[in-house]
Amino acid sequence: MRHLTRWRPAVAGVLTAAWLSVGMAQQMPTAFGQAEYVLYYSLDLPLSIPGLTLTDQGTKRTYVGALRGSLGGLPLTEGSYTYANGASQRAGGGTFTMATKAGPIRAGQILMTSDGKQTTLLFFGTYLGARLSFALTGSGDQFGGAGVVATGLAETTFQSHEQYVAAIREATTRLPQATRDELLTAADRNPRLVRDYQQKSSSH
């Protein structure tokens, strides 16, 4: 199931639709008939930094950028990405880092595809023991820019909000109780954030 990445302000030529969101705020059916739980994200995307890398196969275009914002109601404590084209100018990949106080996304990978007019980046990895993925699409080579915020829903293999909260509770057992309570309260906002996002998406 695909989700729509919304962004503000409406800066033409930066970020466009990627993954349409439909279904219930907390659980949505997948192609396999199972329920999935989605995490709302809001990412501030400063302009990426382009570069060139010389390899045995020729010259690769590389891009490095930052990811700031929130995921599943929790503020990000770090976030960055880097990717490059492969043997073809139309495909490539890279890696990314993203973390909250509940833990990092592990094995963060990026797949890049381009049709010459727009570029799509698929981000995927493991967060709190669950698989997670989301996509961003932009025209041209550079993502982001001053004041650009991308919002959307990240697919996960969590089955419910309760499972998501339980994973946060388990991952934060060594943190002070006040910090744990703060994170759990923030996580409980996720269903409302998802619902509000879906309502705004359906009204456009």
Q: Model pTM?
A: 0.81
Q: Return the residue matching tokens 């466009």.
A: 16
At 137-181, the pLDDT tens digits run 877 666 666 667 889 999 999 999 999 999 999 999 999 999 999
Q: Which residue has the higher pLDDT, 86 or 41?
A: 41
CA dihedral 8, 11, 122, 134 (to 10 degrees): 10
Cβ neighbours of residue 164 closer than 8 Å, sequence gap 6 or more: 37, 39, 72, 128, 130, 156, 158, 187, 190
Whether pLDDT at 8 is above 50: no
Residue type, 185: T
pLDDT of residue 53: 73
**Residue 109: predicted pLDDT:** 98
- Domain ranges for the chain, please list them: 6-202
pLDDT digit string, tens, across residues 24-47: 334 444 443 445 899 999 999 888
